[in-house]
Structure 1
Amino acid sequence: MEERYCCIVGAGERTAALPRTGPGDLLVAADGGFAWLEALGLRPDLVVGDFDSMEPPSSRPDAVRLPKEKDETDTMAALRLGRERGYRNFRIYGGTGGRFDHTLANLQILAWLARRGERGWLYGAGWTATAIMDGMLDFGAEHRGMISVFAHSDEALGVDLEGLKYPLRNAALENTFALGVSNEFTGVPARVSVRRGTLLVIWQN
C-alpha cells in the first residue's frame, strides 16, 4: 500500500524544497503558510492557526481558528488534525528560520512522531531533518555533503553509522555531547541506526 503524506506549510522561511503532494495526500496551511501556498498557486485542504502572522483568509471561511494563548504551536495543531484523519507520515515546510524557538519546537515534533512509530521530515534552507527511534535510516549513494546525528533521548545506545566518512559501531550518544556532528557522505550507500533511543538526523540536500 502506497504511503500517504500530510504536508504542513508554516509561516517560516520559504525554501527551495517545495510542498509536493500526490493522490491521497493532505495539504495543510498553518497560519501564514497560507500566503506561501497562495503564491505557489496551491489550494490547501485545511487552513489552521491563531492568525498572528496574517489575517484569516476571507476565501477560507472553513479555516480552523485557534486561540492565541494555547499549549501548542500552530504546526503541532495542524499535525494533530492530520493524525485525526489517519496520516502517520508528515512533511513540514516553512517550519524553520525566523524565531529559533519555533525551529526547535518543530525538531521536537520529529522526535514526538518517532516515539509513536510515525515519521516526520522538516525542510530547512539546504537541509532536511528527521528522527528515528529504535530503528534505521538508509541513504542512497547519490547523497553528498554533511550529515549530523544527535541523541534526542538522554541516551541513544547501539548507534551505528555505516558508509560515512566517520563510522561508528555500537556507540552510545548522549544529548549533552555532540559526538555525531559534521559527518560526511562518501558516495556510497549509508545507514544510520540506533538500537535503543531516539536520534535526530540532519543532512544537507
Structure 2
Amino acid sequence: MKVCYIIGAGQFGDGLPRPFKEDMVIACDGGFGHCAERGIRVDMAVGDFDSLGYVPKHPQVAVLPPEKDDTDTGWAVKEGWKRGYREFVFYGVTGGRISHTMANVQLLAGLAAKGGHGILVGEGVWYQVIYNEEIVFGKEEEGYLSVFCLGDEALGVCEKGLKYELDHARLTKEYPVGVSNEFIGKESRVAVREGMLLLIGEKKGD
C-alpha cells in the first residue's frame, strides 16, 4: 500500500523513511532541512518557512500564511489525503513543544476516524491511533506499550500477548489503566470493539 511520508522540523527520531516510487514525501517547513541533510527525496515542500528561514527552490512548493487554522503538518495531511493516500508516516513531529505533539496526535485521530492510519515516529517513541479495529505486533517488538482511551469511553478493549492482558475491558478518559504494559517476545495484539485508542510505544532505558 502506498504511503505518504510527512517530515517535520522537530526531533527526527529513529530510522529513516525509505519511500518507494509510488509513495509521497512532503517536507513541512524545517523538515526540508532534515531531508536535505539525510538525502531523503522530497516530492513537495509546504509551510510558512519560518523555521527553515527561506523558501526552498523546489518544483512543488506551497507557501502558507503564518496565521492559519491548519498547522503545516495538518495541511500536509489534507494534501496527502486529497491525492489518495490513506497510510501516513510522520518523522520530525515530536520531541519539541508538547502542544505540537498533541496536535499531531489529533491528526492521527482524524485519520483513524476516516478509515486511514498514521504513525508518529520519534526518538525512542512512537504513537498510533486505532478506531474500532485491531492491531497486531510481531514477536520482535520490544519496550513498553501504553494504551489510552481517546474519547469518553472505549469498549471491548483486548490486550493479548503482552505482560499484562485485558479481555473485553472498558477504558475511559479519566483513568489510565493501560499505562506501561510491556512486549514480552510474543506476537501480541490490541483491539477495541467500539471507540478510539491512542497507543504509545517506548524503548526501555539502558
Provide TM-score, normalisation by structure 2.
0.95
Paired amino acid for 2:73: T
Contact 1:150–1:200 under 8 Å retained in 2: yes
Say if 1:43 and 1:187 are closer, same or farther in 2 by CA, change over 3 A: closer
Report percent identity of matched pairs. 47
- For 2:56 and 2:44, locate their aligned partners in 1 and report how far apart those are by CA, in whole Å: 14
Who is 1:150 aligned against? 148
For the residue of structure 2 that corresponds to 1:160, the secondary structure is: strand
Q: Which consecutive residues of structure 2, in runs of 5 or more, have no partner in the other structure? A: none
Q: Which residue matches 1:37? A: 35
Q: 1:71 aligns with which of 59, 69, 72?
A: 69
Please tell me whether the aligned partners of residues 162 and 192 of structure 1 are also in contact (alpha carbons under 8 angstroms). yes
Quickly say closer, same or farther: Cα 1:58–1:143, change in 2 above 3 A: closer
CA contact (8 A) 1:134 1:194 kept: yes
Matches within 5 A, 1:103-114: 103-114=101-112
Confirm or deny that 1:183 pairs with 2:181.
yes
Amino acid at match of 2:146: S
1:126 counterpart = 2:124: yes
Q: CA deviation at 1:4?
A: 0.3
Q: How does 1:165-176 map to 2 (within 5 A)?
A: 165-176=163-174
Aligned to 1:92: 90
Aligned-pair distance for 1:111? Answer: 1.0
Instruction: Provide, for residues 100-135 of structure 1, a one-character-per-residue CA deviation record: whole Å limited to 9, x for no partner.
Output: 100111111111111111000100111111111000
- Deviation at residue 55 of structure 1 after TM alignment: 2.5
Structure 1, unpaired ranges of 5+: none
**1:142–1:43 Cα change, 3 Å:** closer
RMSD: 1.2
Q: Which consecutive aligned stretches of 4+ in structure 1 deviate over 4 angstroms post-superposition? A: none
